[in-house]
Amino acid sequence: MTDLTDLGVAAIRDGVRAGGFSARDVAEAFIARVSAAKPLNAFLVETPDHALAAADATDAARAAGDTPKPLAGVPIGMKDLFCTKGVPATAASLILDGFTPTYESTVSGKLFAAGAGMLGKLNMDQFAMGSSNETSAFGNVISPWKRNDGGNAALTPGGSSGGSAAAVSARLCPGATGTDTGGSIRQPAAFTGIAGIKPTYGRCSRWGVVAFASSLDQAGPMARDVRDCAIMLEAMTGFDPKDATSLDLPVPAWEAGLSADLRGKTIGIPREYRVEGMPPEIDALWQQGIAWMKDAGAEVIEVSLPHTRYALPAYYIIAPAEASSNLARYDGVRYGLRDLPEGANLQEMYAATRAAGFGDEVKRRIMIGTYVLSAGFYDAYFTQASKVRTLIARDFERAFEQCDYLLTPTAPSAAFALGEKQADPIAMYLNDVFTVPASLAGLPAMSVPGGLDAQGLPLGLQIIGRPLDEQGVLNAGLAIEQRAGFVARPEAWW
Amino acid sequence: MSVDIATVKKIASLARIAITEEDAARLAPELDNIMGWIEQLGEVDTADVAPMTAVIPNHLRLREDVVTDGNVRDLVLANAPQAEHGFFTVPKVIE
């Protein structure tokens, strides 16, 4: 019998439907694998009972002859940014110590209604602020991948959805939820050799998702391949009156619409993404991706996104500004940690609680945000960044007059070693150079594995599409996936 | 524009985060470095550009002016670090 943990979302769904194996068998196989993978530190909380209950409901429904649900029998991992009723949620921060949501986030609720079970809550960068999963209050997630140099350096799985990426690539779950504010689905997907899509801003409800930067935050799936992402995205998406920016649009049948035929499509290659100091292997993969696009029938042209170099500095004003406002809610009064020094008054309690509860990177970003929003600086920083954001979105609009999708590398390097970039915040921020612009413009974008570098580490290619054209993004991703034939997987050492 | 120790203390106070002298001394050059990098945005000519307010065009909805939620006091208080008699409690604020 095949190892059920080798199967992806579609294969599990189809196998359970056909009766090849039971949902309970699947859930038990993944639960065992999760509990044997502690050294990766991917899970903060394991919820085997949840996965088993969903599996038993699936098996009972099948025995009764009910119409199968879209994700029946599929156990998933849940980034710990999503509130799930009755299970502790921390956003990987001490400030949410003791917090157990009494409600269900819209996205997790939709996944469960579609039949999915939950294996547990996944580790991440604290409040999704980080690109290496080193800002979690509960320890680094360790990538299942190793360099092939004989060394044993522990590598980053990327971030902020690092637990999700590590869990999917180590086959601890067939799919997981992620969230993406400036690249937090796409960069970790690239670092771990899996696929991940951030849909158009507004497709997935933000209700019940711990907020980082509300004008940028978007949920999306991370899974082994494009089809699995399409299946999960269909279940996660949809209008939600509880989120003021939720798009009131029907959910397209993305899986049914998958096609790797790109004839008649034009792919734009943004010349400004050819950044200084880009490793030759990244450029080589990019050129390979261009060849794959042509092979799939697409025409390839060069386009210009002139304001690209200003995207990161604009992001590091807008995201911290929104974070400083969003995170004001952590006051030690309504939920989570309270630090009340002897004799402290209310103001001192706020300050002590926040000092004890937030990690260094979170404090850094709250303080940057507070600074750029403070009296006298607001126009120079926040208003200017919001204007630059308009220009960045306009660059994309103009490019999309000439082409259907953009093809770029996902990240400027392969996964780096844990600790390697921690001393320099700006070096860490630069990791998101290719993912942040699409976030600022709210565009759908996905990363698919393209190949391995000389050290045996995965590299990803990014496709960016027009607003609401997730189908096109998935299709271009599928065309790459079919040609890349990426089958590498990390050897189990944990 | 440079971020000095006094500025760091002021920001921390506005952000309600307690910091020590050592924290302030460590954060000043760090934040100064980040703000220095961000300064390059000033180069961009934005004279005739409107700041972005909505990333995807979307109309703001109105809903019926009716109660759709409520009567969940105990759930609201369930996660409070300290709650008494159906209220959140905080240190005394009036002497």
Print the domain residue range for A147.
4-260
Nearest Cα residue in chain B from A426: B34
Q: What residues have CB less than 8 Å from A136, skipping those under 6 apart?
A: A92, A123, A124, A125, A126, A130, A162
Rg (C-alpha) for chain B, rounded Å, is 23
Both tokens of A265, joined, read 């499509």
In a domain, A466, yes or no: no
ipTM of the predicted structure? 0.95
For A124-160, what is each residue's pLDDT tens digit? 999 999 999 999 999 999 999 999 998 889 999 999 9
Tell me if chain B has a CB within 8 Å of the CB of A35. Answer: no
CB A273 within 8 A of CB A408: yes
Question: Of chain A residues 207-246, which have a CB less than 8 A from chain B?
Answer: 215-216, 241, 244-245
In a domain, A467, yes or no: no
In a domain, A450, yes or no: no
**What is the per-residue pLDDT for A44?**
98
CA dist A298 to A167, A405, A409, A475, Å? 34, 10, 18, 12
CA–CA distance, A332 with A339 (Å, rounded to integer): 7
Q: Which residues of B touch A307 (CB under 8 A)?
A: 44
> Looking at the whole model, is its pTM more than 0.90?
yes
**What is the per-residue pLDDT for A422?**
78
What DSSP line would sit under B35-51, residue for residue? HHHHGGGGGS--TT-PP
**What is the per-residue pLDDT for A347?**
95
In a domain, A162, yes or no: yes
The CATH number given to whatever domain includes residue A225 is 3.90.1300.10
Active site residue A184: yes
Contact flag B60-A442 (C-beta cutoff 8 Å): no
**What is the per-residue pLDDT for A136?**
98
Q: What number is the average pLDDT over the span B31-45?
A: 94
Q: Which residues of B55-65 are buried (b: 16+ CB within 10 A; e: fewer)?
A: bbebeeeeeee
List beta partners, residue A301: A268
Nearest Cα residue in chain A from B10: A371
Both tokens of A192, joined, read 């771990």
CA–CA distance, A262 with A253 (Å, rounded to integer): 19
In a domain, A268, yes or no: no
In a domain, A335, yes or no: no
Both tokens of A174, joined, read 């067939």
Domains of chain B, residue spans = 5-42
CA–CA distance, A361 with B16 (Å, rounded to integer): 16
**What is the per-residue pLDDT for A278?**
86
SS3 breakdown of chain A: % helix, strand, coil, rounded to 5?
40, 15, 45
Q: Of the candidates A313, A366, A390, which has its C-beta nearest B40's C-beta? A: A313
CA–CA distance, A206 with A123 (Å, rounded to integer): 19
The count of structural domains within chain A is 1
User: B8: distance to nearest CA of chain A, Å?
Assistant: 8
For A387-426, what is each residue's pLDDT tens digit? 999 999 999 999 999 999 999 999 999 999 999 887 788 8
Q: What residues have CB less than 8 Å from B92, skipping those under 6 apart?
A: A345
List beta partners, residue A303: A270
Q: Which residues of B touch A425 (CB under 8 A)?
A: 30, 33-34
Q: What number is the average pLDDT over the span B18-36?
A: 95
Active site residue A79: yes
